[in-house]
Structure 1
Amino acid sequence: MFFGPVPLSQAEGAILAHSLALPEGRLRKGLRLSADHLSRMAAAGLESVVVAIPAKDDLEEDTAALQIASAAAGPGVELRVVGTGRVNLHARGPGLAQLRAGQILAANAVDPMLTIATVPDLHRLEPGGMIATVKVISYAVAGAAVAGVAEAIAGAVSLAPPVWSEATLIETEIAGQDAGAKGARVTEARLARLGLAMAPKISAAHDSEALARAIAAAPGTGPLLILTASATSDPQDVGPAALRLAGGQVTRVGMPVDPGNLLFLGAFQGRPVIGLPGCARSPALNGADWVLERICCGIEVSARDIAAMGLGGLLVEMPSRPHPRMTPKGP
């Protein structure tokens, strides 16, 4: 592609590189220059203009962007053409972004004029949420480069939708203490963001035997969420002990995400079980969100996966949290 100034006599059919303010109105960049446009420029005293002229084998920006975005889009993704060399990729429904990092890195290495930017992998999306944007920087680019990017990025951007329609919350209670309704209300809202309903809440006394009975009797087949009246402080504490007593398995107690440290994870008769940390009573982001979202969308979460969450796991401080993570400065 040629880019630079040319005499007005050679500019017809070229792409205007920069917007121009003329006495009769503004000409927007990206415009295909006609004889009328050039006459107006000449009347304004211009003798030359900066233009882009695609080569024979070049693709113009909008065409190139659409080809790349179409190649990148996998299941659950729809395209929205913006123009000026940009096409956005959006989620068709709620779910988590699934991104093939190696392919995206390879695509962005082909030609600096051809770019794709994404949200983080496994980022939660609501219906219509933007997953990625393709932007062609120059007005035209070699067709071979576009083909190379499209090949590199094929199917690299997709959406993992929810695989469950309902989850069940079991909340323990300590005699003489009012558990309140906040935990259930906030949990229901978290599930609703992913399109899941919450079954009627189950209450149980805060001891391992009562909780084990509640786990064993919980109806449905979806995830079981356990919110204990007192935080889980040990693998032998009430929540994990109850899950084992009911015949389930505990795969992880504790996570390197703050807030969210006091989570436990396991399974019961094929149902995922998440022991929610106390901070899950707040709508603020915490480590349980990452685990809950993945499980609801059918993405397996192992003990190793939770261990890896520590990288980036120091989340925003919750203003209502009574124990800040920094000691006050001395005098």
Structure 2
Amino acid sequence: MKFGPIPTLQAKGSILAHSIVCSGRRLRKGVMLEDAHIEQLSASGITEVTVAQLQENDVHEDQAAAELAKALVPDVRAAGLECTAAFTGRVNLVATGPGIVDLQADRLIALNSIDPMISFATVPNYQQMRKGGLVGTVKIISYAVDAEKLRSACALGSAAIKILPPQLKTASLVVSQNANRNDEKGISAIKTRLDALGITLEKVIATEHEIDPMAKALSSLKSELLLILTSSATSDSNDTAPAAVRAAGGQVERFGIPVDPGNLLFLGRIQSRPVIGFPGCVRSPALNGADWVLSQIACGVSLNENSFAQMAIGGLLKEIPTRPQPRRPKK
């Protein structure tokens, strides 16, 4: 692509690089100059314009953006994404329903390394999305790009991003209570989170904060996902709520995650059903580690030690003003 000023009379078929007001009308940048434009510019006394001139191996920005988006999402239905029409070298990828983003980071980094003029920006991997949420945007920064470089980008980006929809449809919640706490706020916050994932909260059981009644409640539930909210924070893998999971015939796979707020979450199973023991910060609607774990479990992601370790990068989330032990004590 050639870029620079040329005589107006030689600009037919070129792309106008900068918007110009002439004869009281605005010619926007990016327009392909035709005879009528040349006459309009000349009549206004504009003898020179800055343009982009495509060469034999160049692909126009809109065509290039559309081709790259098609490569990234070859099957929109399977990917849970839709692509907007190309405009000014941009195509947006939008979620068609709830779920989490699943992307091939190494391939997308390589794609963005081919040419600074070929870019694809995304939300973080595993970010929870709602219907209509912007997941990524293809942007061809120049007015055209080299066809060979575009082909390389398309190959690297082939089917490299999608939405994982929720796999679990039902959940039940065990809430341990004491005389000083009514947990309607916590129940409401959890229901809102489940609603966003299309999961029905089938049953809520309130129990004393003791192993046996909590274990009995857990054993009675039939939902695909079991949740626990305790009146007293879980402080150890042998504390009351994890012990109740074991007493109900389950196992505790993880206590503690490197996400703050959300450190005191635990994850387990009763038979094949996942059990999430929520930290107290789940009572707030603010983003916390419970959101990350809940959304990934709901969407069928298997979490292991490496999964949790990766959460540490970016895992320092916004402080919740109402949390009982803020990171920095008040002076």
Structure 1 residue aligned with 2:123, among 116, 119, 127?
119
Hey, what does 1:28 align to over in structure 2? Answer: 28
Hey, what does 2:241 align to over in structure 1? Answer: 239
Structure 2 residue aligned with 1:196, among 199, 208, 213?
199
Hey, what does 2:290 align to over in structure 1? Answer: 288
Hey, what does 1:182 align to over in structure 2? Answer: 185
SS of equivalent residue, structure 1 residue 210: helix
Structure 2 residue aligned with 1:259, among 258, 261, 269?
261
CA contact (8 A) 2:82 2:93 kept: yes
CA contact (8 A) 1:72 1:157 kept: yes
- C-alpha offsets along residues 171-209 of structure 1, whole Å, 9 cap, x if unaligned? 1122x3342311111100001111111112112221111
What's the offset of the Cα at 1:33? 1.1
CA contact (8 A) 1:260 1:286 kept: yes
Hey, what does 1:156 align to over in structure 2? Answer: 160
SS of equivalent residue, structure 1 residue 214: helix
SS of equivalent residue, structure 1 residue 326: coil
Hey, what does 2:54 align to over in structure 1? Answer: 54
- C-alpha offsets along residues 66-95 of structure 1, whole Å, 9 cap, x if unaligned? 000111126111101240000011111101
Structure 2 residue runs of 5 or longer lacking an equivalent are: none
CA contact (8 A) 1:8 1:47 kept: yes
Hey, what does 1:18 align to over in structure 2? Answer: 18
SS of equivalent residue, structure 1 residue 83: coil
What's the offset of the Cα at 1:31? 1.0
SS of equivalent residue, structure 1 residue 164: coil
What's the offset of the Cα at 1:213? 1.0
Distance 1:263 1:168 in 2: 17
Structure 1 residue aligned with 2:108, among 104, 111, 121?
104
SS of equivalent residue, structure 2 residue 6: strand
Structure 1 residue runs of 5 or longer lacking an equivalent are: none
CA contact (8 A) 2:177 2:207 kept: yes
Structure 2 residue aligned with 1:216, among 212, 216, 219?
219
What's the offset of the Cα at 1:306? 2.2
SS of equivalent residue, structure 2 residue 85: strand
Amino acid at match of 1:46: I
Q: How many residues align?
A: 327
CA contact (8 A) 1:5 1:51 kept: yes
Distance 2:108 2:152 in 1: 12
Structure 2 residue aligned with 1:89, among 90, 93, 96?
93
Deviation beyond 6 Å, 4+ runs, structure 1:
none
Structure 1 residue aligned with 2:232, among 230, 233, 239?
230
Distance 2:316 2:142 in 1: 39
Distance 1:200 1:273 in 2: 14
TM-score (norm 2): 0.95
Distance 1:135 1:252 in 2: 41
Distance 2:221 2:207 in 1: 11
